[in-house]
Amino acid sequence: MAVDDIIQLPTHQIYEQMPMDFDQDANGPDAEVDASSVPTVALPLRFIFVKHHPHAKQPNEIISLDSAPSTPPLPDDNPRSPPLSNARPWRPFITYSDYKFTSRCVQRRTPNAEIDEDLNDLHTQAFSSDCFITFRTHRDMEKSLAAARTSNISFCRKTLTIDFDGTAFGGTYEVEVEFRDPWQIMKQWVSDETLAPVSTWFSQEKYYCKNGTIDLSDQLYDEPWTGRNWKYADDSLPADDLYPSCYLGLHVWLDKGLVSTKVKMHPILFRGCWIHSATRNGSGNGGSALAGFVKMPPGLRQIDPNTLTGSSRSEYDRLKRMIYRGVCHLVMASLEQRSHHGEALRFGDGITRIAYPGVLIESMDFEELAAWLAIRNSMSLHPCPQCLAHKNDLPRLTRSFTKRTSESMSCALARAPIPKTERNEYLKQYGLHDFEHFLWNFNNSDPYKATGYDCLHFFDGGIWGRHMWPLIKGCLQRDGLASKFNTNMDKFPRWRDLKHFSSPTTIDYSDGQTFLDILKSSLPCIVQLLPANSCLVRLIRVMTKVRALLGLEVTLDSRLAHLHKFIAEYERICNDVSETHNKSLNFLKQHFLSHAINCFKDKGTSRNQNTRVGEGFQQEIAAQYKKTNGKDAEHQMSIMDENEETMARLDMKVDEWRKSQEDDEKDPVLPHAVTSHWKLGSADARMTSTRIETVNRSNSLYRDFNMRLREYLAEYHPNHPVHEDQNIEVGALLKSFVFNLASVSQVEPCKVLYVDFQSKVDWNNGRDILRCNPMFHGRQRYDSVIYEAQDDNLAMGQLQLVFRCHLPRNISLDLAMIRPYRKSSWAARTRTDCPMREWSPGSIFIALEHVTRGALLCPIFGAPREVFYVIDCVDGDMFLRVNNID
């Protein structure tokens, strides 16, 4: 059936998520209805059209976007049998108290002595007369924990023997590997019924449709299953088996981290890409699983590779690569055959499918990635993990190069000449080391396709934090402008979630987020400091635009087309910067930007690929390490990890059970219309409008407040003070109304305004908390808003007073007095496309129902008059909204 035929389907109503069946005959009661008697389907104005992969055997869906859902819709709303309604979900713990006590001890990693002390006090009635904990000592608790752990995937130990041929490091190495079988981990996730509602087993193609018609031209990418790689994997699996074939993509994260000042560990984490990001990237059940540690053998651990030179360095690197490869292969081995032939599993939703595991996404820093992929280092001829770009071509961001694939790389290795020197020279042309990659033999696990684009490391902390910001900072310092710049940054208006810096040029090293916040704030602080037509100012502007689109959690082909345009603009400006400031652009992170768009189309948006998701884990293992005695620490930590995971899974079951109990007791919530998208808070005492005017007489914006408010109410809210049966002519109405208002009306000023809005990024609810406060954390703060004016739905103004206006007959109106901005055509020293505003004269009243959301505007420091930049890069919604993208 053609896509256009969909509107002929006999369906009465569009629901928020409406299943629509293209491939099968419609069944159920609707199918009986004579098509001619049924009106054609009225599609929502804007919606997401979801095409499930044929293996899913699910009808296509329409998700309406006409209003923001109160909770994000789950793509899979298969009814589930209510689990655990009458069970004791805390089993094998004897009582709920036993479970709760253990959960807390495990979470806090309480030492045994303290557990015993607490138990003793509990049982000797020091705290209460009734104690439901059955444990007497930590040993009893350990027994219950051990019983609970049996449902867990245990760590196993294997020893890998590596014979290494070399002069500096030659010898036989015994590498101990303590790891958990990834297949067992995946099986547990897949069969866990509590994870089924947050899992999507098959790839989907999603399309953003507007104008009320189905249009497959603007594809949407968010979670990994919306990417092309998953679809290709699904396509490659058998379609005609008894059970449906299902690809299970794994996210592999590998990094080194210092767990103490001396000890470095290399944990490997797995995530199930089919689990929704909120759960997958969280720390509870369904979040990351520690698969093991790549542990350097004793003797190698103490070596600092930076002190090695020449052949010993390359020998050390070769040995390290062999260890990496050996350990990773050993850990992943159970997936190899299954990636080709699959294995039947009963999934958490009760359906049996043939599961084919594979590696879908790898998140690693370059050093780890190079070791994992067995490619040459960042200084080699062809250093990119994804393509064969020559090192001199790295700055050419809009050119594409031959992609690396498992096939092409294994062919290159096979074709390499045997004699050592020629072989080495030949492999250099491919940036390869002389290694067969173990993933070449896995199905649907191309290790080059699986490398992601990591915004945090490649852009925030990389191109900007390591290269462009230091260049700009250096120029400011050299020209004696750094202090002036810092003074401007100190005056940058405060905004929620944007870190404020009073002296950014004195920060030498920081994380990606800090650098990102500096980038977002820089433009108004620097534009009048640097010489006219400065390429550095244009660089800052274009980088904020690129970054705004890189960071979107939901993206579209149309948004990526804008990103492509911005990257091309960035490339041109970079060439200017390179010429003017002698800045080399030949570095890998610059080049990675050229892969970003395809990475998002292949694997979903950047949040699926950031290494940031593993960084919380580094802190976790550092904390775990502190609780060990340092001896065989990895082993002690793996036990701790098992305990935490066990309890996290029990926590989820107990939570669900508690919720099911609550649901039985509560009345069902009736559907209700949420009429207002704003809330007022932190109210002051009520005052009459004349009193407000008197109190603020020194402020010209309050001039004639009382009279202007009355005029505003008469014009925009003429119906409020009068009942419908009072049929009075307009002039008389106005007169009596003004009289009433003057005598009774009161104004209740508020200092905080909450505004809910539908985010342009993912169409879910967003919320701004806006301040209108003469003294907020020691300084005055008057935030700005975007509001709908008659001729402009992007009108902006600064809040001066937010208040509830109490009118006669118990009528109240929520209003704001704002200082409106208007567009400005003033020319800064360097012109950019960053939107500008200046003040319109005076102040006006607006109803809060017309406020769309908050806005951040910053004065352009050093301008001869008050002109502002709209800080459109402050979040994704603001950027799309202000620049009118989709």
Q: Report the residue number, 131 or 394, with the smaller CB distance to Zn ion.
A: 394
Beta-bridge partner residues of 246? 355
Q: At what angle do helices 633-665 and 138-149 cross, to 10 degrees?
A: 80
The nearest distance, CB 546 to Zn ion, in angstroms, is 17
Cβ-closest position to Zn ion: 384
Least Å from the CB of residue 486 to Zn ion: 37
Residues 571, 7: Cα–Cα separation, whole Å? 45
Minimum CB separation of residue 530 from Zn ion in Å reads: 32
CB of 469 to Zn ion, least distance (A): 24
CB 704 within 8 A of CB 844: no
Assess whether the previous peptide bond of 864 is cis (omega < 30° from 0). no
Contact 444, 233 (CB under 8 A): yes
Positive or negative torsion for Cα 56, 57, 58, 60: positive
If the CB atoms of residues 2 and 379 are measured against Zn ion, the closer one turns out to be 379
Q: How far is the CB of 362 from Zn ion (least distance, A)?
A: 15
* Closest CB to Zn ion among residues 364, 818: 364
Smallest gap from Cβ 804 to Zn ion, in A, equals 58
Looking at the Cβ atoms of 206 and 595, the one nearer to Zn ion is 595
**Distance (Å, rounded) from C-alpha 652 to C-alpha 658?**
10
CB nearer to Zn ion: give 387 or 463: 387
Residues 843, 819 contacting (CB under 8 angstroms): yes
Q: What is the dihedral of CA 268, 273, 274, 280, to 10 degrees?
A: 70
CB 338 within 8 A of CB 231: no
Assigned token pair, 792: 């402009």
Torsion sign over Cα 696, 698, 699, 701: positive
CA distance 5 to 597: 32
What are the residues whose beta carbons fall under 8 Å from the beta carbon of 413, sequence distance 6 or more?
Answer: 427, 432, 434, 435, 436
- Least separation, in Å, of the C-beta of 370 and Zn ion? 13
With respect to Zn ion, which residue has the nearer C-beta, 145 or 394? 394
- DSSP run (H or E) holding 27: none
Q: Are 268 and 181 in contact (CB under 8 A)?
A: no
How is residue 246 written in tokens?
Answer: 């299902």
DSSP 687: B
Closest approach, Cβ 359 to Zn ion, in A, equals 19
Q: Is 669 helix (H, G, I), strand (E, B) or coil?
A: coil
In whole angstroms, the minimum distance from the beta carbon of 431 to Zn ion comes to 10
Q: How far apart are CA 378 and CA 157, in angstroms?
A: 34
Look at residues 296, 300, 463, 317 and name the one whose alpha carbon lies nearest to residue 377.
317
| Rounded Cα gap, residues 200 and 190, in angstroms | 10
- Which of 256, 428 has the CB closer to Zn ion? 428
Which residues of this chain interact with Zn ion, rule CB under 5 A? Answer: 384, 386-387, 389
Measured from the CB atom, is 388 or 621 closer to Zn ion? 388
Token pair listed for 51: 């095409």
Pick between residue 389 and residue 450 the one whose CB is nearest to Zn ion. Answer: 389
CA distance 268 to 274: 19
In terms of CB distance, is 268 or 370 closer to Zn ion?
370
Q: How far apart are CA 868 and CA 819, in angstroms?
A: 13
Which is closer to Zn ion, CB of 384 or CB of 753? 384
Q: Which residues of 578-617 are buried (b: 16+ CB within 10 A; e: fewer)?
A: eeeeeeebebbbbbbbbbbbbbbbbbbbbbbbbbbbbbeb
Element (H, E) at 377: none
Asked if residue 204 lies in contact with residue 52, where contact means CB atoms within 8 angstroms, the answer is yes
> Is the Cβ of residue 382 or residue 881 nearer to Zn ion in the bound state?
382
**Beta carbon of residue 674, minimum distance to Zn ion (angstroms, whole number):** 48
Nearer to Zn ion, 388 or 633 (CB): 388
Nearer to Zn ion (CB atom), residue 389 or residue 456: 389
Burial of 84 (0-12, 13-18, 19+ CB in 10 A): middle
Residue-wise burial string across 478-512, b where 16 or more C-beta atoms lie within 10 A, e elsewhere: eeebbebbbebbeebbebeebeebeebbeeeeeeb
Task: Please identify, using beta-carbon distances, which residue of 548 and 588 lies nearer to Zn ion.
Answer: 588
Kindly report the number of other CB atoms within 10 A of residue 694's CB atom: 13
Positive or negative: CA dihedral 647, 652, 656, 661: positive
Q: Which is nearer to Zn ion, 595 or 653 (CB)?
A: 595
Nearer of residues 387 and 761 to Zn ion, judged by Cβ: 387
Longest pairwise C-alpha distance within the chain:
104
Q: In what order do the strands lie in the sheet with 219-221?
A: 17-20, 60-64, 47-52, 204-209, 219-221, 555-556
Task: Name the CA radius of gyration of the chain, rounded.
Answer: 31
Pick between residue 131 and residue 387 the one whose CB is nearest to Zn ion: 387
Q: Which 8-state DSSP code applies to residue 100?
A: H
Query: From the CB of residue 6, how many other CB atoms can be counted at a distance below 10 Å?
Result: 20
The two structure tokens encoding residue 31: 């199918």
Nearest distance, CB of residue 394 and Zn ion, angstroms:
8
CB of 385 to Zn ion, least distance (A): 7
